[in-house]
Homo-oligomer: A and B are copies of this chain.
Amino acid sequence: MGEDRRLDVLRAIVEDYVATREPVGSRALTERHHLGVSPATIRNDMAALEEAGLIVAPHTSAGRVPTDLGYRTFVDHLSQVRALSAAERRAISTLLAEAVDLDDVVDRAVRLIAQLTHQVAVVQYPSLRRSALRHVELVAMGERRLLVVIITATGRVEQRTLELAEGVDEAAVARLRLRLNAAAVGLRLSDLDRVRERLVEQVSAGIGTATSAGDADLVRTVLDAIAETLAQESEERVVVAGTANLARSADFALSISPVLEALEEQVVLLRLLTEMAEDESAVAVRIGREHRYEPLVETSIVSSGYGDGVAVARIGAVGPLRQDYPGTIAAVRAVARYLTRILAG
């Protein structure tokens, strides 16, 4: 029973098609891969693979091309992720280590992925919801405006301006800053919601002498603002690089513009990445129609979480269906790992 050989044939078809972009025929297969059987036998296997929905012929009298399902099978069972060379690993490591701040790390990472995979790279900023609070800074800006700056353990800074109902006292702001930091620093932002009421008590009790009612209000307002900032998922930024690789691939039947449009929609990217988070530290792959998003049916997404402990955010590569999956997976995994290491250090 040729079950094994059939999968060998599938692997060979995927590899050849990825390499040449030509539909691959039975003769070519026997020539380039030592399968030990004749073209006629391959043809039988191909008929079976087509029956199973793993390959299709673009037209009669042409070779075969893998389907989404064919690539899926290849990725799941047939490819072994080839490790990067020591030199490559060292290059990634030093490039990332040279970054001067978080923005720079993210920028370098996204360019790195684009360059290694020859695809469109996507990097999500370390998530606010998940990373711990390092500092909250309050700045009075005129009469009744308060600037809240939230600093996370990963070095990310978020800001928000509040319009206050009543005027604020410089000194009260200073006291609040002190208390708030004492009470809330170290908390994961996702925990903040749960412990909010306790914090309000803790903090405002500490501040108040006379105006303790007003202080409690102030604390609540500030915490609300922090919570709201977090709730606003749009604050979770995604950066993209390597869109030029799309245009070069020339694999898109219609046009690349729907893909480019999708890549400009932070919300969409964020959703796609988030949906791939079933196993956060592993590399996940979505092929063609698997991610249910029409404009990207002609693309695959390879993505991994990164960050310490629980993954904090995700990186990924968006490219054509016809791509070097083992290579992409290896690159994405490597960058995710080094990114995790850099951010922890």
Q: A residues within 8 Å of B by Cβ?
A: 101, 134-135, 137, 139, 141, 147, 149, 151, 155, 157, 159-161, 241-248, 255-258, 260-261, 264
Contacts and interface: CB of A to CB of B under 8 A. Distances in A.
Given A137-B149, A147-B135, A247 B247 contact: yes
B257 A247 contact: yes
Copies of this protein in the assembly total 2
Contacts of A141: 134-135
A241 B147 CA distance: 29
Contact of A241 (B244, B257, B264): B264
Contacts of A241: 264
Contacts of A258: 244
Of A101, A149, A242, which is in contact with the most chain B CB atoms at under 10 Å from its CB? Answer: A149
Contacts of A244: 256-258, 260-261, 264
A157 B245 CA distance: 33
B261 A255 contact: no
A260 B244 CA distance: 5
Contacts of A245: 257
A74 to B, nearest CB: 27
Q: Is the interface of A mostly helix, strand, loop or mixed?
A: mixed
A342 to B, nearest CB: 15
Nearest to A174: B174
A162 to B, nearest CB: 11
A98 B160 CA distance: 16
A63 to B, nearest CB: 27
Max chain B Cβ within 10 angstroms of own Cβ: one of A101, A149, A243, A255: A243
Contacts of A242: 264
Contact of A255 (B101, B247, B255): B247
Nearest to A158: B157
Contacts of A246: 257, 260
A314 to B, nearest CB: 21
A149 B246 CA distance: 38
B151 A139 contact: yes
A137 B135 contact: no
Given A137-B137, A264-B241, A160 B101 contact: yes
Given A135-B139, A147-B151, A157-B159, 16 more contacts: A101-B159, A101-B161, A134-B141, A137-B139, A137-B149, A149-B149, A155-B161, A242-B264, A243-B243, A244-B258, A244-B261, A246-B257, A246-B260, A247-B255, A247-B260, A248-B257
A257 B243 CA distance: 8
Nearest to A264: B241
A137 B248 CA distance: 46
A133 to B, nearest CB: 13
A244 B264 CA distance: 9
A213 B186 CA distance: 35
A256 B247 contact: yes
A168 to B, nearest CB: 15
A242 B147 CA distance: 32
